[in-house]
Amino acid sequence: MAKKLQKAVSRILSSMFIIIVCLLALVVLSSRISGGTPTILGHQVKAVLSGSMEPAFQTGSIIAIQIKDQHSSYKKGDVITFQMDGKLITHRIIDVKKQNGQAVYKTKGDNNDGADRWSVTPQNVIGMYKGFHIPYVGYALNYSSSKLGSALLLFVPGLLLLISAIRSINGAKQELEAGKVG
């Protein structure tokens, strides 16, 4: 009984690993092909690289953001992802002001002592955090974006498919041999 349970757990964990690797490969390859970040149903997945928003989400998490459109508007308390000095930042809006007829957002990381020293214009906003995050997967996503990580994402699924094919062939061979003996 324990052996069957161990085998079942092993198969589940192996399947989960294969699914995660394939999903990471899909995300990275589609972003490389499109030249940008892949969008699924109006949402993008971003890796969290700092602890500024803890405890809402931890460093190394991935978060889903809803991409802004021409009708998007944000209010105090919303968590937005924006571009600032060539970096993507995800912080909470603590104040909204009007400047030259448009909204300007003052932001702060939940874990930071003070407000950000900049103001965010609507042109810099990428989208809004929608409450979905998965801890630790961001580390893998970030690594998979590197050259070595991309190469491994191509190599590992291929190797897993090869191993699976060899196991299937060996299993079929053993069944044939068992049928000849019995």
Q: For residue 58, what pLDDT is reported?
A: 86
Return the ∠ at Cα 40 (arms to 34 and 43), rounded to 5°. Answer: 110
Q: For residue 44, what pLDDT is reported?
A: 78
Q: Which CATH class is domain 39-136?
A: mainly beta
Let me know if 50 is a catalytic residue.
yes
The string of pLDDT tens digits covering residues 12-51 is: 887 887 777 677 667 666 666 666 666 667 777 788 888 8
- State the catalytic residue, choosing from 50, 72, 164, 168: 50
Could you give the 3-state DSSP secondary structure of residue 154?
A: helix
The string of pLDDT tens digits covering residues 75-108 is: 999 999 999 988 889 999 999 998 888 899 999 9
pTM: 0.64
* Residue 64: closest CA among 39, 87, 43, 36: 43
Residue 178 confidence (pLDDT) above 80: no
* Residue 23: closest CA among 134, 130, 165: 134
